[in-house]
Chain A
Amino acid sequence: MLLEARDLTKVFGGFRAVGGASLDVAEGEIVGLIGPNGAGKSTFFNCLAGDNPPTTGTIRFRGQDVTKATPEAHARAGMARTFQVPVTFEDMSVAENVMVGAFLRHGHRAAARRVAEEVLAFTGLDHLADTRAGSLGTPGRKRLEIARALATEPVMLLLDEALAGLTPAEVRLAIELVRRIQQRGITIVIVEHIMEVILSLAERAVVFHQGRVIAEGAPRDVVDNPEVVAAYLGHHMKRVRRG
């Protein structure tokens, strides 16, 4: 297993955001984490990325214990991520943003520049290379975050709602990009709200509800699981009926 997270819990004050969730990810997979709002998937995700270490539980990545490792140690170990709300370096150009990522494995400016150019071409941002990152719209920022993460030459990419807030046409482009990233041999874990994305992208879906994993399997089967319907869609149905 590339990533093994065992019995993670995360407690904020008196609130248990994640309560004993486990996840295994094999090399080359695309795994989707889904669940209603507040299900704990983003918290779980931040535990995996080292942004917010779990209260209890262990995380092993490429055979090494990374439970309490810092985000920068995760990056060095080969785990890259994007953020739910994109945080690009606004004052820098698109190319410079990507170079920051490239400097992780390439100390020299020329080498970092080369890697950045390659990644920009791969992600279709090459025509925006000299644009100030702050002037990009949401789709551009999300794509730039992915590009920047790829420049660190990761083994695994964690995408936190990388497709939320995009128009259907942009979603299709982003899905195509994620597929191409997987074809490069990069394992992907994606947190997503949009069912369509998980259905068309993920080979395996893991459903969170109230801090626990309540179902796991092929996305089609998971969607039909009565427990999932009750937790996820059923909740929604009730609200519709009440309205």
Chain B
Amino acid sequence: MKQWPLVLLGFVVIAAWPLLTSDVFLQRLGALVLLSAISASAWNLLGGYAGQVSVGHSVYFGAGAYASLVCFTHFGWPPIAGAPVGMLVSMLIAAVVGTPTFRLRGHYFSMATIAAAELARILAANVPLLGAAVGLMGPPVPRSAWDLSFISPIPYHYLFLAVLTLLLALTWQMQRSKMGFYLAAIRGGDRAARSLGVPVLRYKLYALLLSAAFTSLAGSLYAVMIGFVDPDSGLGILISVKMVIVAALGGAGTLFGPLVGAIILIPLEETTNAMFGGSGTGVTFIIYGAIIVLIARFRPGGVADLWHSLITRGRRGAARGA
């Protein structure tokens, strides 16, 4: 990769971000960008690399968020201790949901994932153990450092950065390995992939298991930071849609696409929310809709694709000048 210096520069800027400003809004924004980048990067493993567009990843996000707060509410564990539980539950759900739905193609697969996610949301809203429609709360005051309950967003920023770095390193490794090639082949076409000996269903399932585990971790981290989850904030369809849009905006199936998408979209969303207050949530939907239309119309490959063509154009220009 020739872009390593740029990647390093980006990492340094992101790592230094909360120290560059004393504005808590901006510090919090940094942490939220990273959290969104984690969930979108996790979605990207299946939706981007394998080309299986799930619009039901809120199930895994919600499983993570709920696992953390269920473990706190019912067993008194620190919420973060629920993260591995959530990841296991998510992988179990993934295996159960994935096995039948992977036989569906294209839009039919996406619709089946929506159905599964909505089912989970309705279920959660009616189970008292999960707080039903009211939801669950985290520790109101930190009992120990393990509760990871801080007033400043800065500790969250570094926690999220560590998780994102780990996830992207894993993705990079995966992308270069046999699995990365097989997922790309599956995205290119099931039939051709199978003719070359790719066990398509098995590899889709591997991608989903990995994707579900990390999406769940993002959900747990969200619950740890926000300290609250209810059916809408943990399992709402908007959570799934956001993962898709963030990844597609930056470039689905590319390593840094989801991070770039989060850097663009989250500040936009938070600013409109701050500007319009409670009545501004509708504006977020309008922005999402506009972004979907723009990506579909002009750049199906997202910002990564735009960047790539700018670079090639730049190189060609340079070659012409020389």
Contact = CB atoms under 8 A, between A and B. Distances in A.
Contacts of A107: 178
B199 A100 contact: no
Contact of B196 (A91, A92, A148): A148
B189 interface: yes
B196 A104 contact: yes
A26 to B, nearest CB: 23
A103 B195 contact: no
A109 B178 contact: yes
A89 B185 contact: yes
Interface residues on A, range: 20 to 34
A96 B178 CA distance: 11
B127 interface: no
A90 B182 CA distance: 14
A148 B196 CA distance: 8
Interface stretch (A13-21, A71-79, A182-190): A71-79
A76 B195 contact: no
A96 B192 contact: no
Contacts of A96: 181, 184
Given A83-B191, A89-B189, A107-B178, A75 B196 contact: yes
Given A76-B197, A107-B178, A91 B184 contact: yes
Contacts of B196: 75, 80, 100-101, 104, 148-149, 151-152
Contacts of B182: 100, 103
B187 A80 contact: no
Contacts of B177: 109
B205 interface: no
B194 A92 contact: no
B90 to A, nearest CB: 28
A174 B75 CA distance: 70
B198 interface: yes
Interface in A73-120: 74-76, 80-81, 83, 87-92, 96, 99-101, 103-104, 107-109, 112
Given A89-B184, A91-B184, A100 B198 contact: yes
A225 interface: no
Contacts of B195: 49, 51, 71-72, 74-75, 80-81, 83, 149
B200 interface: yes
A152 B184 CA distance: 17
A135 interface: no
Contacts of A149: 195-196
Given A96-B181, A109-B178, A112-B178, A91 B187 contact: yes
A138 interface: no
A101 B195 CA distance: 9
A89 B194 contact: no
A152 B193 CA distance: 12
Nearest to B177: A109
Interface in B56-92: none
A92 B191 contact: no
A87 B192 CA distance: 6
B142 interface: no
Interface in B139-198: 176-178, 181-182, 184-185, 187-189, 191-198
The 8 A-B residue pairs with the shortest CB-CB distance, nearest first, are: A89-B188, A75-B197, A104-B197, A71-B194, A87-B192, A100-B185, A103-B178, A87-B189
Given A49-B195, A80-B195, 12 more contacts: A71-B191, A74-B195, A75-B196, A83-B195, A89-B188, A100-B198, A103-B181, A103-B182, A104-B197, A107-B178, A112-B181, A149-B196
